[in-house]
Amino acid sequence: MAVDTSGFVPKGNLNTDSGALSASGRKHTIKRIWEFLKSYRPKIFASLCLALVSVLLTLLVPIKIGNAIDLIGTGSSGMYGDLLIAALFAIGVCISQFAMNIINNSITYHTVKDIRNRAIEKLQTLPLSYIDSHPHGDIVSRIVADADQFTDGLLMGFTQAFTGIMTIAGTLMFMLSMNVVITVVVVFVTPLSIFIARFISKHTYDMFKIQGIERGNQTAVIDEMIKNEKTVKAFCMEKDALGRFDEINERLTASSLRAIFFSSLTNPCTRFVNAVCYALVALSGAYFAMGKGGFAAGAITVGTLTVFLSYANQYTKPFNEISSVISELQNSLACAAKVFEILEEESETPQKEDKITDCRGDVAVENVDFSYDPSVELIKGLRILVKSGQRVAIVGPTGCGKTTIINLLMRFYDTDSGRITVDKKDIRDVTRKSLRRSYGMVLQETWLKYGTIMDNLLMARPDATKEEVINAAKLSHAHGFIRRLEKGYDTVIGEEGEELSAGQKQLLCITRVMLNLPPMLILDEATSSIDTRTEMKIQSAFETLMKGRTSFIVAHRLSTTVNADLILVMQKGRIIEMGDHLSLIRKGGFYKSLYMAGMGGDEADGS
Amino acid sequence: MHELVKYLNDYKKECVLSPLLKMLEAVFELTVPLVIARMIDKGIKAGDGTIITVSFVTLIFLGIVGLCVSATAQYFAAKAATGFSAGLRHDLFEHILSFGFAEIDRLGTSTLITRMTADVNALQNGVNMFLRLFLRSPFIVAGAMIMAFTIDVKSAFIFVGVIAALAVVIYFVMTINIPLLKRVQSKLDEITRLVRENLSGVRVIRAFTLEEDSVARFIDANSHLTSMMQRSGKISALLNPLTYVIVNISIVFLIAAGDYQIRAGILTTGAVVALYNYMSQILLELIKFANLIVTLNRSVASAQRVNEIFDVSCSMTGDPSHPDIINASDVPEVEFRNVSLRYHENADDAISGISFKIEKGSSFGIIGGTGAGKSSVAHLIPRFYDATEGEVLVGGINVKDIDLSALRKHVGIVMQKAVLFEGTIRDNMLIASPGATDEEIMEALETAVCSEVVREKGGLDAHVEASGKNFSGGQRQRLAIARVLCAKPSVLILDDSSSALDFLTDKKLRENITGLSYHPTVIIISQRTASVEGCDSIMVLDDGKCSAIGPHAKLLETCGVYKEIYLSLYRKEED
């Protein structure tokens, strides 16, 4: 946005990256999460209970089947009993897993919904200083991606880790109760696969990094060439562009091949370790099952051997899950901290209940001090007195603080000391809503939301009729170009209105004000991107609009200042001259030199 | 998707070997239960330790061979997948570069970029997974079933039932869930957009006091998202429990049936255990297979998006029979005959009924307000667009009949948005005329009043960042002008290309261009009368139509619009 934040240093530790949570920060975050989950605690408890049930039953099913295998062919009716129990257990697993999944989904989805809703409500109350000084992409990714990561990673990770630990403990217990030696074989061989997986991922990390760099290089070329394709075409440099692209493409392909191949060795390798483990279990189990010689002491049945084989197959799974969960948990804690940072950010000072009604438009700025950064002085002892219906022009070179005054008038920022009054009421004593409704504003930086042209214009007055909108558009000379668009007023414009030129966007913003007709006006370089002839036409519409309305005009072309009742000439945040056009010209100061230079034709430097 | 298969042509060997090797690995895996069965029946039951040891060695051997075979398969899959995407990326990029301005306008650059990057990556991933798993998983499932048949036909029918039941479950979960997931994704995109809007539009939202309205809109979209996610979550929550219970209950049936067979002396305990093991293998593979289908589904969507781009072709056709433009002096250098241009079918004309002639070596100004159609006129000369009606002629030949690169060498245009490319300043200058010497480049820089800039930056070898980010707007404009001047074009178009220059530099630039020794035909486009008043002739555009053509002095007298533009800059002075 068009805010002068020169020399502004963002406070807070928003930019410290993830992963680096301090111990106290982590504690604080966990505490916050626990509070946040208050209403979900019964559900979480239920989920854990179900996880426990499902783990126990999952482990018991192979045992029952093993028992049945031992009795197979003996004609014992006990086999059918075992099978029946196994089937019931399997159904139990199915039901408890399904119920757990549903409960987990409900917790996750609702938590992320709550967090996002709270965040968006928070955004409405955050001071502009926060929004101006933090990259929007970062805030968006906190509310969208981090919130997701947090709920997904944390809640799912938590239940997964819980299930994993229970499975490992349960498996160990059952195995030990059956045969110690085979258990030892499983316990020592299985984790090998995890080490191998770790080893591979560690060594392929660098390859992926190289791939990432090459991919970044290629995206940069794609981005540059496609964004500027018109220039590429104008110079017939397609071959050249393709040559640059191919060179990187070759490197990217080679690095991708390396990274993909080496990382894809993980599965075959772990499968191999599992196969070795399986073979060892089969070997030792078979000798125990024969029950001869040294193996007689721990003799087992064939059924038990099948139980061991089935456990050996499944034993690595919880290990893999837990090891991936640990890093995920750390990551989601960091994400949670990032989300909570926004939620905990201080809101704007609470507003008082008084309202501005039937605004006349007397504005007084009394002894105001203000700066974005306490160490860089900006506005000091500012006094302005504006009577109802007067026109105030603010002029000065780029970065002199013109926009700052607008920020203060609209109460986007609060003054450090002194006060601003509208109709003799301190603007801090009235609701922000009633203050802002009294102003209509057009900014140099135009903003349009995703939607049709009509949607965008109706923002100013949601209840306006189509005729009123079209009339307003005619007044602002936007009607002509809107009509020429593919679907006229129903043309959908993308985010930020990329399809429209800067001038057209500005015309739309002017139309909004024409539709709204507020008691006071703020025009912050409202016509900077519009050609002079159209501007002249709009100017006459503005003249009508400004009649009887207190208006603040930040002017980029000094020709607009001539008719102002009061001109504020600013330099480095201070008002250095004040008066009407004639008196300032006669004075022969900074204004006069600005005015004369402006007539020389460098109006393009107004930004 | 089949149109893209041709990118695998160079990798036929890999595409055949990789799945085949995977199948081989599957065969080894399918042998394991047989070995275990033998261990139980011949080893344990008969008390034969050698058979057990031999079985153990066999298992280890199967593991090692499996490892080697599958590692080779992974390599072939990775090779084919990366080769596939390399070829695809190359062709896609080349295809995008063949687009005309109309296609670029219509598709938008961000779409093109995501399709070049994210979609191609998804496709590469899809090919890789396909080669690795698509034969393996069905083969293990089918193989396990066949093995079951070889062990016992009656029991094998349980397998047939189970596989059918699992297939039905997976199919239903997938077909219901995939479209749901797509909708969830687009809703999530909407959420992202709304958050971004709340930030970028914070001043407007607060100024119009629309805070509650935006929160309400967000909460509404968010609730939608949550209920959609829950719906899709319920369905995917079914998958694992259902497959688990189906497989385990069928194992129960298998053993019950086996009991009967064993007592009848048809089966051994080892055979029943083998059947049990096959059943477990089927479960594992089917779940992998389901995940593969999700990946493939994503790749198919990407393939469609990539194909959409391939389906777009440059809309400009014609018969470029003239490889060159002969500079005959008796025809006008540039001529418009009743030209109209419409960007969309349903839109109004951007320009309509424009006719003019520009004589060789003369200067021509085009002036008008925002959206008057100035750039549209300029863009028709080097044939960035084709005229909807009428004819555009350069050197007396219709531009549609001129070889495009010859035309664009003949006509040099400096566009409104000055663009530099990554490289050195020299690289950028050589774009227009690859053979230019340093002296020629310096001369062009001198004319464009930017030799000083180049010196400050460290000479011709100074680095230029992507899109020329390390240069100011005014510097970029002057370098862009110099770049075109390097090629010494016969027609030089300056499309509002001095807007970021101060008055004095602009004036100096115009003087330098007038003084060029090779006397190009110059077309200057501007919003300011000061920039065009020195031209031999000026065309005034108003709302897409030509108001008047003539020299400055005459227009001041006869053309109201021109006078208005002229006065809009100077009126206050005359007050």
Element (H, E) at B334: strand B334-341
Residue-wise pLDDT for B383-433, tens only, equals 988 999 999 999 888 988 888 888 888 999 998 778 888 889 998 898 888
Contact A144 B89 (CB under 8 A): no
User: Phi/psi of residue B381, each to 5°?
Assistant: -70, -50
Rounded to the nearest angstrom, the minimum Cα separation between B525 and chain A is 13
In angstroms and rounded to an integer, the radius of gyration of the C-alpha atoms of chain B is 36
Nearest to A136 by CA among B382, A128, B35, A158: A128
Share of chain A above pLDDT 70, in %: 90
Which of B203, B210, B230 has the highest number of chain A CBs within 10 A, making it the mutation to test binding with A? B203
Q: How is residue A22 written in tokens?
A: 């301090």
Structural domain boundaries in chain B: 1-135+298-315, 334-574
Higher pLDDT, A297 or B248: B248
Please check whether residue A512 is in contact with residue A523, taking contact to mean a CB–CB distance below 8 angstroms. Answer: no
Identical topology for domains A23-179+324-347 and A389-405+438-606:
no
Higher pLDDT, A455 or A604: A455
What pLDDT does residue A6 have? 35
Rounded to the nearest angstrom, the minimum Cα separation between A574 and chain B is 24
Q: How is residue A468 written in tokens?
A: 């009123």
Point out the residue among A68, A233, A257 whose CB comes nearest to the CB of B255: A68
Contact B97 A238 (CB under 8 A): yes
Contact A109 B234 (CB under 8 A): no
Helices assigned H by DSSP within B487-528: 503-514
User: Phi/psi of residue A310, each to 5°?
Assistant: -70, -40
Domain B334-574 has CATH 3.40.50.300: yes
Is B280 part of the contact surface with chain A (CB cutoff 8 Å)?
A: yes
Q: Which of A344-358, A415-429, A458-472 has the lowest mean pLDDT?
A: A344-358
What pLDDT does residue A451 have? 85
pLDDT over 90 (residue B68): yes
Higher pLDDT, A5 or A183: A183
Residues 6+ apart with CB under 8 A from B312: B99, B103, B107
CATH topology of domain B1-135+298-315: ABC transporter transmembrane region fold (1.20.1560)
Tell me how many residue pairs between chain A and chain B have CB atoms under 8 A apart: 404
Which of A136, A246, A260 has the highest number of chain B CBs within 10 A, making it the mutation to test binding with B? A260
Share of chain A above pLDDT 90, in %: 14
pLDDT bucket at A254, cuts 50 / 70 / 90: very high
Q: Which of A34-48, A310-324, B38-52, B525-539 has the lowest mean pLDDT?
A: A310-324
Which of B107, B348, B370 has the highest number of chain A CBs within 10 A, making it the mutation to test binding with A? B370
Q: Could you say which residues from 309 to 348 on chain B have a Cβ atom under 8 Å away from some Cβ of chain A?
A: 344, 346-348
| Inter-CA distances, A285 with A62, A185, A219, Å | 16, 10, 56
Is B432 part of the contact surface with chain A (CB cutoff 8 Å)?
A: yes
pLDDT over 70 (residue A151): yes
Q: What's the rounded mean pLDDT across residues B96-125?
A: 85
Higher pLDDT, A159 or B21: B21
Minimal-distance CA residue of chain A relative to B98: A238
Residue-wise pLDDT for B316-365, tens only, equals 776 677 777 766 667 888 999 999 998 876 667 788 899 999 998 899 99
Point out the residue among B44, B109, B527 whose CB comes nearest to the CB of A286: B44
List of chain A residues whose C-beta atoms are within 8 Å of the C-beta of residue B103: none
DSSP code for A530: S
DSSP code for B326: -
Exposed/middle/buried for residue B417 (C-beta within 10 Å: 0-12, 13-18, 19+): middle
pLDDT over 60 (residue B575): no
Point out the residue among A123, A242, A516 whose CB comes nearest to the CB of B93: A242
Is B50 part of the contact surface with chain A (CB cutoff 8 Å)?
A: no
Higher pLDDT, A327 or B121: B121
Please check whether residue B394 is in contact with residue B402, taking contact to mean a CB–CB distance below 8 angstroms. Answer: yes
Is B216 part of the contact surface with chain A (CB cutoff 8 Å)?
A: no
Minimal-distance CA residue of chain B relative to A223: B113
What pLDDT does residue B574 have? 39
d(CA B197, CA B397): 50
Rounded to the nearest angstrom, the minimum Cα separation between B402 and chain A is 14
Scanning the structure block, which residue is given the tokens 């809109």? B217
Class of domain A389-405+438-606: alpha beta
pLDDT over 60 (residue B571): no
d(CA A225, CA B99): 12
| Inter-CA distances, B331 with B303, B325, B393, B488, B493, Å | 51, 12, 10, 20, 19
Contact A271 B419 (CB under 8 A): no
Higher pLDDT, A63 or A602: A63
Q: What's the rounded mean pLDDT across residues B19-43?
A: 89
pLDDT over 70 (residue B6): yes
Assembly ipTM: 0.80
Contact B200 A241 (CB under 8 A): no
Share of chain B above pLDDT 90, in %: 30
Rounded to the nearest angstrom, the minimum Cα separation between B562 and chain A is 10
Residue-wise pLDDT for A196-220, tens only, equals 888 888 888 888 889 888 988 888 8
Q: What's the rounded mean pLDDT across residues B115-133?
A: 88
pLDDT bucket at A495, cuts 50 / 70 / 90: low
What pLDDT does residue A601 have? 37
Domain A23-179+324-347 has CATH 1.20.1560.10: yes
pLDDT bucket at A8, cuts 50 / 70 / 90: very low
Is B215 part of the contact surface with chain A (CB cutoff 8 Å)?
A: yes
Please check whether residue A452 is in contact with residue A490, taking contact to mean a CB–CB distance below 8 angstroms. Answer: yes
pLDDT over 50 (residue A11): no
pLDDT over 60 (residue A1): no
Minimal-distance CA residue of chain B relative to A281: B56
What pLDDT does residue B377 have? 93
Q: Work out the mean pLDDT of chain A and round it to a whole number.
A: 82
Contact B79 A599 (CB under 8 A): no
pLDDT bucket at B196, cuts 50 / 70 / 90: confident
Structural domain boundaries in chain A: 23-179+324-347, 389-405+438-606
Please check whether residue A137 is in contact with residue B199, taking contact to mean a CB–CB distance below 8 angstroms. Answer: no
Residue B574 sits at the vertex; the CA angle it makes with B571 and B575, to the nearest 5 degrees, is: 90
Is B500 part of the contact surface with chain A (CB cutoff 8 Å)?
A: yes
Point out the residue among A106, A562, A602 whose CB comes nearest to the CB of B572: A562
pLDDT bucket at A252, cuts 50 / 70 / 90: very high
pLDDT over 70 (residue A16): no
pLDDT over 60 (residue B231): yes
Share of chain B above pLDDT 70, in %: 96
One-letter amino acid at B60 equals I
Is B478 part of the contact surface with chain A (CB cutoff 8 Å)?
A: no
Is B126 part of the contact surface with chain A (CB cutoff 8 Å)?
A: no
Residue-wise pLDDT for A58-107, tens only, equals 999 989 988 998 888 787 888 889 999 999 999 999 999 999 989 988 98
Strands B521-526 and B491-495: parallel
pLDDT bucket at A444, cuts 50 / 70 / 90: low
